């Protein structure tokens, strides 16, 4: 319909215009509903896919840890067995080393026993008090070697440093240099008197016997040194064949092989899980959600298609109204209410055509003061 025919048209033409406008409004309303529905379905699809992904990840991690945990438990048990077997082996070896030391030092220990008995006999025959049969006595009166020197220094430090200072700082009511000098004089006097007295009573009187005993004590010391060397050499000896540890070593080798086998099984199981099992779990869980996701995506595609169709209809109707109606009637009159007003004007007999109805409508609005 051209512009002239449209303006000369009547109620039928206005109803046609109203129908097209109503259809445009309905399609716009539908488009809004479809937009909301499309957004809802899109969010639902994303949330479902996210839930599936998180559930797969959680399940795969959990199952992998379960597989790893099973092997770790077996590894821990095997390691505990290895530790226990090593402790038994070490304990058994220690006992055998002790037996070997006892055996290889038996003659030296027996010799020392006889030498000690000889010293006692000399002390008894010469009626020498047994209190002189001490290392301290020989360190003071017959010193020899580094150990005697250390013992002498230690005793002298106690006598001339620890005791005087202890008395001076902790027992006296006040500290005076005079008191310290007196303490040293007393200690030195007592020490010197005892040293001379013991020397006169024992050393000078039984010189020959004491010198003989000194030689015997030296033999005992040399035997002890030999015993210490034998102990050291035996403990350092890397050859374990004399101790009969074959059964222990065989058991340890078996347990070690078992541990290596479990570790390899663990490695293979985890590799198989990562390459195969995890994918099976993923496919299974995706399958359980497939129907729901397929339904949502199908519904989404349908809504999306309806949206496109509706959009095309809106475009076509908008262009039709803009090209065929608005240039002649005016954009301001292209509403359902105002088209109804034009229809009512014609039906009331106030106008015969659309053109007349528009003029009548505008005049009425002006008279009413409405622009």
Higher-pLDDT residue of 313, 128: 313
Distance CA 149, CA 156 (A): 11
Element (H, E) at 291: helix 278-320
**Average pLDDT for residues 114-126, to the nearest whole number?**
87
pLDDT in tens, 69-98: 999 999 999 999 999 999 999 999 999 999
CA distances (Å), origin 205, targets 29, 180, 190, 208, 209: 135, 36, 22, 9, 9
Cα Rg of the chain (Å, integer): 59
Q: Which of 25-34, 82-91, 106-115, 129-138 has the lowest mean pLDDT?
A: 129-138
Res 7 pLDDT > 80? yes
Query: Hunting for tokens 């099976």 — which residue is that?
Result: 280
pLDDT in tens, 147-174: 777 877 887 788 778 888 888 787 777 7
Res 202 pLDDT > 80? no
Res 135 pLDDT > 80? no
Return the pLDDT at 371. Answer: 54
Residue 222 structure tokens: 């040399």
318 within 8 A of 77, measured Cβ to Cβ: no
**Average pLDDT for residues 320-337, to the nearest whole number?**
91
Distance CA 72, CA 60 (A): 18
Q: Exposure pattern of 269-308 as b/e (b: 16+ CB <10 Å)?
A: beeebeeebbeebbeebeeebeeeeeebeebbeebeebbe
User: CB neighbours of 142 closer than 8 A, spacing ≥ 6?
Assistant: 210, 211, 214
Q: Both ends of the chain: CA-CA distance in Å? A: 29
Higher-pLDDT residue of 190, 312: 312
User: C-alpha angle 119/122/128, rounded to 5°?
Assistant: 105
Return the pLDDT at 21. Answer: 93
Return the pLDDT at 3. Answer: 47
Res 235 pLDDT > 70? yes
Return the pLDDT at 101. Answer: 92
Q: What is the pTM of this model?
A: 0.56
340 within 8 A of 5, measured Cβ to Cβ: no
CA neighbours closer than 13 Å in the CB half-sphere of residue 110? 6
**DSSP letter assigned to residue 8:** T
Distance of CA 153 to the CA centre of its chain: 56
Taking each helix axis as running N to C, give the angle between helix 278-320 and helix 11-104, from 0 to 180 degrees, rounded to the nearest 10. 160
pLDDT in tens, 53-62: 888 899 999 9
Distance CA 43, CA 135 (A): 96
Return the pLDDT at 370. Answer: 62
Return the pLDDT at 2. Answer: 47
pLDDT in tens, 15-71: 999 999 999 999 999 999 999 999 999 999 899 889 888 888 999 999 999 999 999
- Whole-number average pLDDT of the chain: 87
Res 305 pLDDT > 90? yes
Q: Which of 139-143, 245-249, 346-350 has the lowest mean pLDDT?
A: 139-143
**Average pLDDT for residues 318-342, to the nearest whole number?**
91
Res 126 pLDDT > 70? yes
**Average pLDDT for residues 182-199, to the nearest whole number?**
78
Residue 178 structure tokens: 């005079």
Q: Determine what percent of the chain is predicted with pLDDT higher than 90.
A: 51
Distance CA 229, CA 223 (A): 10
Return the pLDDT at 203. Answer: 67
Q: Which of 42-51, 89-98, 110-119, 284-293 has the lowest mean pLDDT?
A: 284-293
**DSSP letter assigned to residue 167:** I
């Amino acid at each position: 319909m051209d512009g002239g025919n449209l303006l000369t048209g009547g109620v039928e033409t206005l109803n046609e215009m109203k129908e097209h406008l109503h259809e445009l409004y309905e399609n716009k309303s539908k488009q809004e509903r479809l937009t909301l529905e499309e957004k809802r379905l899109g969010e639902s699809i994303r949330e479902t896919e996210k839930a599936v992904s998180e559930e797969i990840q959680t399940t795969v991690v959990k199952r992998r840890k379960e597989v790893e945990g099973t092997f770790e438990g077996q590894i821990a048990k095997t390691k505990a067995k290895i530790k226990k077997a090593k402790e038994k082996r070490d304990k058994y070896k220690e006992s055998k080393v002790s037996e070997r030391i006892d055996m290889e030092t038996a003659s030296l220990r027996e010799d020392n026993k006889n030498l000690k008995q000889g010293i006692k006999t000399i002390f008894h025959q010469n009626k020498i008090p047994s209190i002189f049969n001490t290392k301290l006595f020989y360190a003071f009166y017959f010193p020899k070697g580094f150990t005697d020197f250390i013992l002498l220094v230690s005793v002298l430090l106690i006598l001339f440093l620890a005791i005087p200072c202890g008395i001076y700082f902790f027992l006296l009511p006040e500290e005076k240099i005079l008191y310290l000098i007196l303490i040293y004089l007393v200690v030195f006097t007592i020490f010197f008197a005892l040293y001379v007295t013991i020397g006169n009573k024992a050393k000078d009187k039984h010189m020959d016997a004491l010198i003989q005993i000194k030689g015997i004590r030296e033999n005992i010391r040399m035997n002890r040194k030999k015993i210490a060397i034998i102990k050291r050499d035996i403990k350092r000896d890397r050859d374990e064949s004399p101790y009969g540890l074959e059964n222990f070593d065989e058991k340890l080798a078996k347990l070690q092989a078992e541990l290596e086998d479990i570790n390899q099984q663990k490695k293979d199981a985890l590799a198989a899980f990562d390459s195969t099992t995890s994918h099976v779990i993923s496919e299974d869980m995706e399958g359980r959600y497939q129907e729901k996701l397929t339904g949502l995506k199908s519904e989404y595609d349908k809504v999306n298609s309806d949206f496109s169709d509706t959009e095309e209809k809106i475009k076509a109707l908008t262009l039709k109204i803009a090209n065929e109606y608005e240039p002649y009637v005016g954009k301001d009159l292209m509403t359902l209410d105002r088209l109804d007003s034009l229809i009512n004007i014609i039906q009331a007999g106030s106008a015969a055509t659309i053109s007349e109805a528009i003029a009548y409508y505008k005049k009425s609005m002006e008279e009413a003061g409405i622009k």
